[in-house]
Chain A
Amino acid sequence: MRPFGALKSSVVPLLYADIDTDQIIPASHLTSRTPEEFANGLFNRLRSSDPEFVLNDPAMRGRSILLAGTNFGCGSSREAAVWALKAGGFEAVIAPSFGEIFETNSLKNGLLPIRLESASYDELVRTIIHDRDATAIVDLAAGTLQVPGAVTASFEIDAFYRTLFLEGMDELGYLLSHEAAIEAYEAENMNPLARWRIEA
C-alpha cells in the first residue's frame, strides 16, 4: 500500500442515509478483474438508470472525496465496493457513520473512512450545498478536515490503522511477524475440536 499523503479535492455529495454496498457495486460486477471494470461497476445501476445521478454530472469528474450519509456502506461485505470506489478515483469517504465491514475493508485498501461527529458533518453539508465546488483538505497525520474559510473539523482514525496508512505498511506482514505467538497458541490453547480436525 502506498503511504497516504495529503488530500485536497472538491467533494462528490451523495446525501442519503443507508447507501448499501449493492448500490456501490451490483453483484453483476463482482467478477470484475481490472480497475477499468471495477470503475465501470461503481454505482453502475444508479448511473445508468438516473441521468440526474451525481456521478453523471461532468463537474464531478476528477474528485477524490465522497461526502455520504449515515451508515454508508451497510449491507454486504463485498470488498469490491471499496475497490470500485478506488478505481473511480476516490481516496476518502466522509460520513457520520459507516457499515462496519465496509469501514474495515476501506482501511485495508487505502480508502480513508472519515467519520465526522454530527455538528461538523452538518456544517460541512451546509457548506457544500451552498458551494458545490468548495475544496476540502484532509490532513491524516493531524486528523483534520478543512474547507478553508468555512469548516475546520477533526476526526479520529484507529491509531493502528493511521500508522499503516501513513507509512504504507502491510497488515499481512504484521500478522506474519507473529509466527511464534501463533505456533504457541496452536500448541497450547487451540480449540480442542479444531486441533482434532487437524490431527484426524
Chain B
Amino acid sequence: MARYHPQTLYDRLWRSHIVAEQAGHPALLYVDLHLVHEGTYLQAFEMLDAQGIAVRQPKLTFATTDHWVPTERRLRRDAPLSSMSYVVQGLLEVAKEHGIEAFGPNDVNQGIVHVIGPELGLTLPGMTVVCGDSHTSTHGALGALSFGIGTTQVGHVLATQCLLQRKQKTLRVHISGRLRQGVTAKDLALHILSRHGVAFGREHVLEYAGTCVEAMSMAERMTLCNMSIEMGSRTGLVAPDDTTFEFVSGTPYAPTGRQWDESVERWRTLRSDDDALFDSEVSVDATDVEPMVTFGTTPGMGVPVSGRVPPVDVIGGPEKRRSYERALKYMGFVPGDRLDETRVSTVFIGSCSNSRVEDLRAAASVLRGRKVAAGTRLKIVPGSQAVKRQAEAEGLDHIFLAAGASWDEPGCSMCLAANGDVAPPQQYVASTSNRNFEGRQGPGARTLLMSPLTAAATAVAGVVADPRRYLDA
C-alpha cells in the first residue's frame, strides 16, 4: 500500500500536468488553456511561421483584444477596424489563419483577457492556464494553475502546448476574520503588500486560505489572485468550492449534463490536505484592514486612506532609502503628508483587478445621487462586453452618466495607457488598477491605487476620500 503523503493543491495541479520529467532538467508542463491578447503574440507567431510549425491545439487557444483597443465609443464602435493599432488587426488576421477563436474589438464576448476567461467558462478548476500577461495569476481564483509568460514562451505553447517549468515552493496566505463594511479584497491585497512588500512571494506559488477567503465571492477572489504578481508570485490559488461551482455553472464554455456532474466530483478533490505542509506561511486578520491608498511607485507603498506618508525607511539599507526618496520625489510627497488632502484630477475605475460587475455595483453605491467633483474627471471602463451589458441591465450606466462620469468600451485602458488613455503629467490619478510604477499611466502621471469604493468616493470629493463616509448606514 502506498504511503500517505499530504498534498497541497499546487502538488495536485502540478502532478496532473507533467508530460515529461528528466533528472536535472525543468519538466514539460501541459497547458490546458492558452489565452492570447494583442500585446504579446506577434513575435511568437513569427517564430512558428519562420519554421513552418502549425499551432498544435488551436481549440485550446483563445484570443481577445484588450490592451491596445480604444475605449471611447466614437473610436471603437463608430470607427473602422483599420483605424486601430496594427497589433489589433494583426492578431485577428493571424488567429483566423491558424483557426483560433478570437474576440475582436466589438465582438459580444470581447473584454480584458482575465475578465473573460472565467466569465466565459474558458478557465475551469483543475486546468493549467497561461497567457502572455503577468496578471494571469487572476485565474487561480478558480483553482486553476495560472501564470504569466513571455512572448517566446507564447511561441512554445503555440507550437507544443507545453512549457518548460521547474516546480516552485509554496506559501500559504492564511486570512482570518472578515472584511468590514467599506473594506474590499483590493484593500486586503494592498494591506498585505504594505506589510510584506513586493517580493515576498518570489519563487513561491501563493495559496489563499482561511474563513475570510471561503466567504469571498469569485470577484473578490479574482481581485486577490490578480494582485499576487505584485507580491512577487506569478501564481495565486484558491481551492474551488460551491461558490466556484455556482459561478462556473451555466457559463458559455463550461461543461453541462453528465460532464458537469463528473467535473464537479473531480473538482472537489482539488484542495490542500489539512495536514499539507507549505514552505512558508503568512497570516493576516482581515478585520485589521482599512480602505487603502498607495502613495509611492510600487504597490507595496500604501497606507490607510486616513494615513500619512511614512518617514524614510532606514531599515532597508541605502538602496531601499534611495528608492524611497526617489519615489516620494516623483510623487510630489514628503513624509507626514496626509493622503486625504491630495487633490485628484483623474479617477479611473477599471482594469483586470476591479472591472467586474460587482466592482461597478460598488462604485454605483457611492455615486448614486451624487456628482463627480468639479475639476475631476471620472472614467469608468467595464471589464468586458458581458459586464457592460449586465451593468446596463441593472441601470448602473445611468447612475454613472448622471454623476458626470464617462461610460466606455471594455479594455485595459488607463491601467497601462497603451491605447492612448493617458493620465496627465504631474497630476494625481486615482486608479482601481494594480500598478503605480513611474510613468505607467502616462509620462509623469502620479498614480494612487485603491478600491472601486474608494475611487468612487474620491471622484465625488475631488480628493482622496474614505468610502465609508459615503455608504448608507
Contacts and interface: CB of A to CB of B under 8 A. Distances in A.
B7 to A, nearest CB: 17
B150 A77 contact: yes
Binding site secondary structure of chain A: helix
A26 B30 contact: no
Contact of A172 (B20, B47, B149): B47
A189 B322 contact: no
Nearest to B254: A193
B440 to A, nearest CB: 5
B32 interface: yes
A74 B444 CA distance: 20
Given A27-B418, A175-B28, A105 B126 contact: no
Interface stretch (A84-92, A96-104, A140-148): A96-104
B30 A185 contact: yes
B435 interface: yes
Contacts of B199: 18, 70-71, 74, 97
Nearest to A81: B150
Nearest to B152: A108
B234 A101 contact: yes
B320 A17 contact: yes
Contacts of B316: 17
Contact of A76 (B53, B134, B149, B203): B134
A175 B437 CA distance: 35
A27 B202 contact: no
B282 interface: no
Nearest to A183: B19
Contacts of A22: 416, 435, 437-440
A191 B150 contact: no
A158 to B, nearest CB: 8
B86 A31 contact: yes
B151 A79 contact: yes
A17 B319 contact: yes
A194 interface: yes
Interface string B261-278: 011001000000000000
Interface residues of B, number: 78
B149 to A, nearest CB: 7
Interface string B133-161: 11000000000000011111101100111
Contact of B150 (A16, A31, A105): A105
Nearest to B47: A172
Contacts of A100: 202-203, 232, 234
Nearest to B87: A31
Contacts of A175: 28, 156, 159-160, 162, 164
A45 interface: yes
Interface in B103-142: 124, 126-128, 132-134
A40 interface: no
Contacts of A189: 16, 30
A75 B435 contact: yes
Interface of B: 16-17, 19-20, 24-26, 28, 30, 32-33, 39-40, 43, 47, 51, 53, 56-57, 59-60, 67-68, 85-87, 124, 126-128, 132-134, 148-153, 155-156, 159-162, 164, 166, 198-199, 202-203, 229-230, 232, 234, 253, 255, 259, 262-263, 266, 298, 316, 319-320, 322-323, 326, 416-418, 435, 437-440, 443-444
**Lowest 3 A-B CB distances belong to which pairs?**
A79-B150, A105-B150, A27-B418
18 contacts: A28-B418, A31-B86, A31-B87, A69-B319, A70-B319, A76-B134, A79-B43, A79-B132, A97-B202, A101-B134, A108-B153, A160-B25, A172-B47, A175-B156, A175-B162, A182-B20, A182-B56, A193-B126
Interface of A: 15-18, 20, 22-23, 26-28, 30-31, 45-46, 49, 69-71, 74-80, 82, 97, 99-101, 104-105, 108-109, 158-160, 171-172, 174-176, 178, 181-182, 185-186, 189-194, 196-198, 200
Given A27-B416, A78-B150, 10 more contacts: A22-B435, A23-B438, A70-B199, A70-B319, A108-B150, A158-B26, A172-B156, A175-B159, A182-B28, A196-B259
